[in-house]
Amino acid sequence: MISQLYVEIGERIRSKRLALHLTQAQLSEKIGISDNHMSEIERGNDRLSYDKLLRLCEIFDCSTDYILRGCNTIEDGVEIPESIIEVFRKSDSKEIALFEEYIRLYSKIRNYNSQK
């Protein structure tokens, strides 16, 4: 029986691979596994060894948390959804500055409301 966790991991790997315009053959060569093994991983039927997972994350420029859990974490353990990270990756410096301003305003409003 296929574990839902492995299916979700496979979906995240496939999504990242496609975003980089890589074929399964190209990615499997980069991480040192067979094309068939990559296919099985993306379908959730097999898993990567730890060293291959680390290599995959280097290629994808993402954390193991994202591949394994679908989220990224920062030092204090706060999870950042990949959808938010993807928005920042696709943004220019002006848009990022605007996001930062929104976050500052949100923080002020939240602090104000918590003091009531």
| Residue-wise pLDDT tens digits, 61-109 | 888 888 998 876 665 567 777 778 778 878 888 888 898 898 889 888 8
- Indicate the pLDDT class of residue 50, thresholds 50, 70 and 90: very high
H-type alpha helices, the chain: 4-19, 24-31, 35-42, 50-60, 64-69, 82-89, 93-114
- Indicate the pLDDT class of residue 112, thresholds 50, 70 and 90: confident
Domains and CATH numbers, the chain: 1-73 (1.10.260.40), 82-116 (no CATH)
Q: What angle do CA 62, 68, 69 make, to 5 degrees?
A: 95
> What is the chain's length?
116
Integer Cα distance of 26 and 10 in angstroms? 16
